[in-house]
Structure 1
């Protein structure tokens, strides 16, 4: 019957797409970032999923690299924005291949500037912004269960962070910490919130010491039970300061550091490379003497034991300068960089305007 043949074709097509979306030729190396000490099964309250510790899938690699940029993209991204992926290690094994995983459930609305990170088998997305007649800000929470490959929106209790974008997030144990970000108007935040993934509960984390200034576009990574934060922007000043939050002592400290730090910037990435015991800062939008965008393709490494900034030595072809890119650490030593905003036609127009202003004697 025609109906039967049509149904068979649909099922076959769906099976082919599923097979293409989940190729597994060999056991993947684990993605750094899944914290040690997860219970095997955690309680799943209303609408939530269980958190399990397990080796990462190929899809999890892409999810781990989505901590800084858009998961679904943002309409109106500038022309010429880079969309390539590159690794800082030219000896990376195997062949990289893009796939589009088939995800069930209702996905979150399109957005940019959100935080996205992997904790066990759960990929968590929080906040962000989108443009519809004006910029609108979000503080919703979404989760992909990478075991079932399904989106859901958990009902988290407690005091969630206010709507914002450009915030930073990191994982310590079974908790997600979110710091800073920009809200509606001129509001720039310097609050720290904690999401307990065991109980799906938000809480505001008090500090026994003065916190950093409010900012967005900064980066944050966990080293043991400490959060290391670098850089950012408050709308007028770019930072290159380094701060550490001790989650056990509930205190912020601005440590003394040796060596020249990265230039002030925002929209960069900060990753822990366990194999080298280094925190790597790369890319971002740095200050320019003429006020034009300075998209960086450089970085520096921080030794967390000695608090010393070191030159980042890399070989091979490096990615073009960019900011608001995604970056993830794979197998403790491969830094994967993807996407972001870089040189574009919009930048060329800005340069022409600056040149015209200079010729007119107003710049």
Structure 2
């Protein structure tokens, strides 16, 4: 059993990497560095036999898919916070499955962090937030996979507060961010959106009933709808108010008038 892992879906293949195997039943567990594939049609798992160097196991990282490439950025292991970027090309499964460490061109790159969020839009990866254990971030970065360059985006609008453990999903050129945990350890329940094309943040308030405050949850988009599931809240909500096992759905189409 693992926690803090990350996954991405491409066609009928679910890709899972990383996570912490330390638990009450396995107190000496290590960070998992295995790459696992689930065929959601046949429901069969495969552990990929990797050749050559691979990223060290970790948790709190974030992943994204662009084309056939699976990107892993950041995370933490044994108290060390990371800002490395590893790439696994699914095409390598046809020969020798290999990871590649992408050293960015230029000197700019995000600070080491865990608990951040990533989305892919076109040929770019967008990173928001996270923590290095001492400092919480609310910066926004873009990585261009063609030039292999990081750039910190100079954003305008209602920039969300610093946080970690939030989740994000993209619809068209809008990245929606929900929840997370702030610098005081309080779990959040706010919804923000970032329009990638003009680098403007939007904040939505008074939208009626929504998901409870949480961190460590997951988000995904299908069409114009964004789904929120899981997570935890500190302090835990009353039993009757705990909706972490319920799938909350946001129809982003109704927000067009505000953005």
> TM-score normalised by the shorter chain: which range applies?
0.7 to 0.9
- Once the two structures are TM-superposed, the CA of residue 133 in structure 1 deviates from its matched residue by 2.4
Structure 2 CA distance, aligned partners of 1:215 and 1:297?
22
Q: Which has the higher contact order (CA 8 A, sep 6+)?
A: 1
How far apart in 2 are the matches of 1:345 and 1:181? 25
2: CA distance, partners of 1:114 / 1:314: 33
- Three-state SS of the structure 1 residue aligned to 2:20 is strand
Structure 1 segments unaligned to the other structure (5+ residues): 1-109, 347-363
- 1:338 equivalenced with 2:235 (yes/no): no
CA contact (8 A) 2:34 2:48 kept: no
SS at match of 1:297: strand
Partners of 1:175 and 1:195 within 8 A in 2: yes
1:177-197 alpha-carbon deviations (Å, 9 max, x no partner) = 10000011x211110000001
Secondary structure of the residue aligned to 1:144 is strand
Measured after TM superposition, the shift of residue 157 of structure 1 is 2.5
The residue that corresponds to 2:183 in the other structure is 287
| Cα distance per residue 1:25-81 (max 9 Å; x no partner) | xxxxxxxxxxxxxxxxxxxxxxxxxxxxxxxxxxxxxxxxxxxxxxxxxxxxxxxxx
TM-score by length of 2: 0.84
- CA distance in 2 between partners of 1:302 and 1:339 (Å): 23
Say whether the 8 Å CA contact 2:186–2:234 is kept in structure 1: no
Structure with higher Rg: it is 1
**Is 1:259 aligned with 2:157?**
yes
Contact 2:156 2:201 (8 Å CA) reproduced: yes
Structure holding more helix per residue:
1
- Name the residue aligned to 1:235: 133
SS in 2 for 1:130: coil
Q: Which whole-Å deviations, capped at 9, do the CAs of 1:83-128 have from their partners, x for residues lacking one?
A: xxxxxxxxxxxxxxxxxxxxxxxxxxx1110011101111010010
Structure (1/2) with the larger strand percentage: 2
3-state secondary structure, aligned to 1:129: coil
Q: CA RMSD in A?
A: 1.6
Offset of residue 259 of structure 1:
1.2
Q: Which residue of 1 aligns with 2:46?
A: 152
Is the contact between residue 158 and residue 203 of structure 1 (CA under 8 Å) also seen in structure 2? no
Detail structure 1 runs of 4+ shifted over 4 Å in the superposition.
none
Matches within 5 A, 1:78-227: 110-131=1-22, 132-134=26-28, 136-184=30-78, 186-199=79-92, 200-209=97-106, 210-227=108-125
Check whether the contact 2:116–2:164 (CA below 8 A) recurs between aligned residues: yes
Provide the rounded CA distance (Å) in 2 between the counterparts of 1:160 and 1:154.
12
2:190 is aligned to 298
| Matched residue, 2:256 | none
Q: Are the equivalent residues in 1 in contact too, given 2:168–2:220 (CA < 8 A)?
A: no
Selected match of 2:204 from 312, 316, 323: 312
Q: Is the 8 A contact 2:110 2:141 kept in 1?
A: yes
Count of residues in correspondence between the two structures: 229
**Equivalent pair of 1:181/1:190 in contact (CA under 8 Å):** yes
- Structure 2: runs of 5 or more not aligned: 238-259
Paired with 2:65 and 2:33, the residues of 1 have a C-alpha distance of 18
